[in-house]
Structure 1
Amino acid sequence: MADLTSSLFARYNRIMRGTFVGVLLVACALVYLQYRQTLRSETDMLAQRMQEQAVALDAILKSSLDAVNALRLQAHAWYRLHPEEAPPSPLLATLLNGDGPQTLRLDAPPAPWSRDDVGNLTGFIDEPTPSLRRELEMALSLNATFQSIKANIPESTWVYYTSARRFINIYPWVSSQDFFYADTLHKKPFFREVEPIRDPTQRILWTPAYLDEAGQGIMITASAGLYEDRQFRGAVSLDLTLDRLNAFVRNWQSRFGTLFIVNNHGQLLAHPQLVRPDADDVLPSAAAFPAGMADRAQDILAAAAGKVVLSDGYYIETLAIQNAPFRLVVMVPRGEMVRAALLSGALTVLLLVAGLTLMLLVASRLTHREAIAPAQKLVRYIQDESRGSAKSIPHIPPAWRPWFQTIQNVFNAHTQLVSIQQELDVARRMQQSIVPTRFPSRPDLQMFARMIPAKEVGGDFYDYFWLSETRVGVVIADVSGKGVPAALFMAVARTLLRATAPAANGAGNCLAMANELLSQDNEATMFVTLFYGILDTSSGELLYANGGHNPPLLIEPDGNVSPLPTTGGMALGIMEDLPYQERSMLLAPGSTLLLYTDGVTEAFNPANQEFGERRLNELLARSSALAVEPLLAELVETVNGFADGAPQSDDITCLAIRYAAPARPGDPPCPTR
């Protein structure tokens, strides 16, 4: 052990010297690595900021998308709630009583409405059929939602419903002299692209950017088709200026770079310098790129989708917006990123090298005092404890004392565990000794049993005893729980059953008497499931009672396997004054009775599959011709093979009785083997 500690600390000294040499070598590479790391951090930060901006922009656009969807849902709901024509509302009455039978205009809303409350519904109609009047009422019902959308979305310019029946309801109110429905509206993208032939999925459409004819500047439109019973009626639309998008990109909070927005039509929607409120034309997305990159703008945008790429001296990333066919683009000159990385990294590296050298010197001394020396003492202490010659814990830093105490406790616990294991071995041998190991082997009766505890000692037991020259009692039981408590309760239960059996009037009375004794002062609330049968070898009659145990299986001479009919009794030890019914049946010569505990059927394999009653019945059917001892050997081998090394979950106990023929007068009363 002295050689071991010397080798350990000599190796530590070599490591420390190598570390000092490594620091000098690594210092030369740190400048470059720091530069690369800082540059990578800058690009990662740029990507993270882009993600944040994309989420924020998506939220802005989602409010417009939700507004259009709300209009559509409101219209659909109105149609469902008004399946038939009703008397016209004051607004509709005003419309229908206008200038002429073919012209609609709401230039003078009736009281109590004002021009701030409603849009102007203008257009042309032929005969006002009930269907058309219902659609007009629906269009007028959208006014309140128009007003709410305009108040909550500052960048909205117009909110309107355009009908396929040649009318439009537009908000804010505008005089019909300034704006009146025209059939050319049906050729605009906001209406044409949401018609069923182009929009079978009924999505919400974003139009290309365009110059507003009313002088409101460049804007875009969000539009959705509106249906009544799958019949296309028109489009609900929201016109938005680009002011808010431009304000969004101007508020870019990064140290460098330019943020702008393009759409899927190759248009530049927002840019801090290029897109202005008074612009008279929509710029292409290529306008945001330097001259040498403009012709490849679309390819560059596709390559930078979702990641930062370096192209033509620029770091570029594009992120798609979920609620609109737009892309958020950032473009940063490479020189800006390189300068930022160098300025932030050089001083940091110098301070790091100096600080690291000083820390190594201090750490070497402190490590030897606080770790190496105590570790050497710990190794020696383990050696002394393993030989049983350890003295008191040596003088060590306070932080190491729990380690020494843990080692001390471990060795003490090991000594105790060895003692406990020895006692458990004794208990296991004692438990095995109280169950029968010799079994009858007569012309009329053969018997054999196997018991495999899940732990050192278990709670299962089996038993047999002769009540007369031709009557033999057989028992199998399973105590709740495992280990030593179950084994002790098992011994008590077996003793009580043997004591009460000779005086009991039948199997049911025997279980009732044993239950009374087990239930008294049962503070541990343990119980035992138990099957008790009395076989008369002179007649083959089996009288039995069951206290909550698995029904034994009867293997008939022809290989048929079936459970014994149940008697409905509860487990013993739960409560006093319980009755136990008994039943009787005649066993045919050559029949075999298998008594078993649930450790057989509840054996699990590594795939957590259960052996189960079906596999047990199949095994017994194909092994019915075997004698009782080979039969149980085959059963245990099959169960172990099924478990395939999985831990045994419960005690495995089984008792097989083969009834051959009625006893003859010359047969010995109860021979065993």
Structure 2
Amino acid sequence: MDSYELLQNSYKKILFNFLHKKNEQSLYDAQQFSKKVLEENVSPEEIVSIHLEVIQELYPDLPEETQESFQFLLEVMIGYGMAYREHQILRNKQRELESEIDIAADMQHTFLPQEIPQVDDLDIGVITVPASKMSGDYYHVIKDVNGYIGVAIADIIGKGIPAALCMSMIKYAMDSMPNELLPPSELLETLNRTIEQNIASHMFVTMMYASYNHDEHVLYYGGAGHEPGFYYNKQADHFSELYAKGVALGISRDAKYRQYEQYLDEGDFVVLLSDGVTESRTEERFLEREELTDLIRKYAHLSAQEIVDNVYRDLERWQGLELRDDFTLLILRRTFTKST
């Protein structure tokens, strides 16, 4: 006796007991039967087919219309069974993809600095929050053998796993730089050649990179199509745009980048950010850049980390707790010299 006949006989016995006894045991047996057919991967239409055959055997004199109604139900369940199996296949694929994304997101998190290097005359604060599991934003903070600080903030145009792979490439390339920081123009040109050779043609990376010379108190910086930052003059209580012209990384292998410089007096700071900050919005409007600088000024008396944390908190609340794009905000401030 094959498995189908065994199922048919088992179902016949259960159905007969239910129709004639209608007790709790027969309902319990039906539940156990359901578990068994689920384990054996029996399709819904097969169950209906078994039911029809058993009914016809137990009650051969059923009206023709009733028997035909079961045939109709069988056709319906065949369609349902096919759709259900397709749904299960898609659901399993979705679970596999979500699992892969979770792994990639965990891996992506390890690409970010685990701690910010400490320098006597600098205060650095940074916050990065992805809009979804995978982020397109990246930042890098490094101290070289001379104690100079290099900071980078980048936005990878492209999401998901490809962005995570691109991020790993950027981190590896930056970690492989010489022990002494390269000038921003040279670093961007080096990264551009690496990225252009290794990413898909539809992807590119915007970046702002800056290095701070604590002997001269000068910030040298360059940009590759990235969102302009800000320079805050403490004495004048004034924000000005920190703009650096340059084509995004990965578009043209032979791209050249200019280098800019900004002297930082005590209390002055620079703000580097991703477009997820400046493009914060509600249903009605986008955030104005002047509104952003006013918000930063509101917390300028705090530490750099407290500034970025408070700005993020306020903008998150302003947007109704709905982050629409990856958010990264970095502040580098020259501290006041301690009197002896």
1:536 to 1:592, Cα distance in 2 relative to 1, 3 A: same
2:330 counterpart of 1:655: yes
SS of the equivalent of 1:487 reads helix
2:290 counterpart of 1:614: yes
Deviation at residue 593 of structure 1 after TM alignment: 1.8
Which residue identity lines up with residue 254 of structure 2 in the other structure?
D
Match of 2:233 in 1: 556
User: For the Cα contact (< 8 Å) 2:111–2:167, is it kept in 1?
Assistant: no
SS of the equivalent of 1:617 reads helix
Match of 2:108 in 1: 431
Match of 1:288 in 2: none
SS of the equivalent of 1:470 reads coil
User: For the Cα contact (< 8 Å) 1:470–1:538, is it kept in 2?
Assistant: no
Deviation at residue 507 of structure 1 after TM alignment: 0.9
Q: In structure 2, what is the Cα distance between the partners aligned to 1:567 and 1:514?
A: 16
- Which residue of 300, 303, 314 maps to 1:627? 303
1:387-413 deviation per Cα after TM superposition (whole angstroms, max 9, x unaligned): 766323413633432212222232343
SS of the equivalent of 2:234 reads coil
Q: In structure 1, what is the Cα distance between the partners aligned to 2:40 and 2:337?
A: 71
Superposition map of 1:294-333 within 5 A: none
How many residue pairs align between the two structures? 284
Match of 1:535 in 2: 212
1:427 to 1:522, Cα distance in 2 relative to 1, 3 A: closer
1:301-327 deviation per Cα after TM superposition (whole angstroms, max 9, x unaligned): xxxxxxxxxxxxxxxxxxxxxxxxxxx
- TM value normalised by structure 2: 0.75
User: For the Cα contact (< 8 Å) 1:385–1:411, is it kept in 2?
Assistant: no
Deviation at residue 385 of structure 1 after TM alignment: 11
1:492 to 1:443, Cα distance in 2 relative to 1, 3 A: same
- Which residue of 271, 274, 281 maps to 1:604? 281
1:426 to 1:521, Cα distance in 2 relative to 1, 3 A: closer
SS of the equivalent of 2:308 reads helix
User: For the Cα contact (< 8 Å) 1:541–1:586, is it kept in 2?
Assistant: yes
- TM value normalised by structure 1: 0.39
Which residue identity lines up with residue 634 of structure 1 in the other structure?
N
The root-mean-square deviation of aligned C-alpha atoms, in Å, is 3.0
User: For the Cα contact (< 8 Å) 2:206–2:226, is it kept in 1?
Assistant: yes
Q: In structure 2, what is the Cα distance between the partners aligned to 1:384 and 1:446?
A: 63
Which residue identity lines up with residue 232 of structure 2 in the other structure?
I
User: For the Cα contact (< 8 Å) 1:450–1:632, is it kept in 2?
Assistant: yes
User: For the Cα contact (< 8 Å) 1:477–1:597, is it kept in 2?
Assistant: yes
Match of 2:98 in 1: 421
- What percent of counterpart residues are identical? 23
Which residue identity lines up with residue 136 of structure 2 in the other structure?
G
SS of the equivalent of 2:325 reads coil
- Residue ranges of structure 1 left out of the alignment (5+ in a row): 1-5, 7-379, 665-673
1:229-275 deviation per Cα after TM superposition (whole angstroms, max 9, x unaligned): xxxxxxxxxxxxxxxxxxxxxxxxxxxxxxxxxxxxxxxxxxxxxxx
1:440 to 1:523, Cα distance in 2 relative to 1, 3 A: closer
Q: In structure 2, what is the Cα distance between the partners aligned to 1:611 and 1:585?
A: 26
Match of 1:328 in 2: none
Q: In structure 2, what is the Cα distance between the partners aligned to 1:563 and 1:456?
A: 31
Which residue identity lines up with residue 651 of structure 1 in the other structure?
D
User: For the Cα contact (< 8 Å) 2:245–2:258, is it kept in 1?
Assistant: yes
Q: In structure 2, what is the Cα distance between the partners aligned to 1:543 and 1:385?
A: 71
1:663 to 1:482, Cα distance in 2 relative to 1, 3 A: farther
Deviation at residue 503 of structure 1 after TM alignment: 6.8
Which residue identity lines up with residue 655 of structure 1 in the other structure?
L
SS of the equivalent of 1:517 reads helix
Which residue identity lines up with residue 269 of structure 2 in the other structure?
T
- Which residue of 148, 152, 169 maps to 1:471? 148
User: For the Cα contact (< 8 Å) 2:108–2:167, is it kept in 1?
Assistant: no
1:397 to 1:527, Cα distance in 2 relative to 1, 3 A: same
Match of 1:582 in 2: 259
Q: In structure 1, what is the Cα distance between the partners aligned to 2:125 and 2:79?
A: 55
SS of the equivalent of 1:520 reads helix
Q: In structure 1, what is the Cα distance between the partners aligned to 2:284 and 2:254?
A: 40
